[in-house]
Amino acid sequence: MESMYNDLEKVLFTKEQIDARIKEVAKELDKDYEGKRPIMVSILKGSIMFYADLLRAMTIKTEMDFMAISSYGNATKSSGEVKMIKDLDRSIEGRHIVIVEDIVDTGYTLNYLKATLKTRNPASVKICALLNKQERRVVDIAADYTCFEVGDEFVVGYGLDYAQIYRNLPVIGVLKKEVYSS
């Protein structure tokens, strides 16, 4: 039988580990944003699993909105070019914004997103990332909330893809090298 698991070299984080860590981060957000009704902005498509679980783990009132930006395409290296594909539906003036992203790698994407949203006069803009790949950072930007640190490896699962595949893996893992080269 075809299984995505056969393509993994190793599992970095199990669903149980992800759930436990998300609960902790959700608690922090509940505390920091109590009474502020933040707009939680999901960056499509990589953040969807994280976003859905994080928001359900939160207990304060929040609103949802979505943005899509161009990323890697089918390659595994960032070009530094960022383009908006889908903008937010509503104005964010005077509102507290939390950008929910899958992974901060070079930092180009978040740098662009944060700068773009800040021009719209929100009350605040913070970043909540599932993963941080510090070793590869080019732009000096850090997430305000991070679930896990990863090394300089290409990871998939739990929303993260390779050529649009593996997003529905419930775990986060490293792909076998032969998957890229085939």
Q: What is the CA radius of gyration of the chain?
A: 16
Rounded to whole angstroms, the Cα distance separating 25 from 98 reads 13
Given candidates 106, 116, 144, 179, which one binds ligand 5GP under the rule CB under 6 A?
A: 106
145 close to 127: Cβ distance less than 8 angstroms: yes
SS3 59: coil
Query: Closest Cα partner for 70 from 58, 80, 60, 59?
Result: 80
Residue 62 binds to ligand 5GP (criterion: CB under 6 A)? no
In terms of CB distance, is 71 or 146 closer to ligand 5GP? Answer: 71
- Residue 132 forms beta bridges with which residues? 104, 149
Residue 103 binds to ligand 5GP (criterion: CB under 6 A)? yes
Residue 7 binds to ligand 5GP (criterion: CB under 6 A)? no
Given candidates 72, 88, 114, 134, which one binds ligand 5GP under the rule CB under 6 A?
A: 72
105 included as an active-site residue: yes
Q: Which residues bind ligand 5GP (CB under 6 A)?
A: 46, 71-72, 78, 101-109, 133, 154-156, 160-162
Which amino acids are annotated catalytic? 105
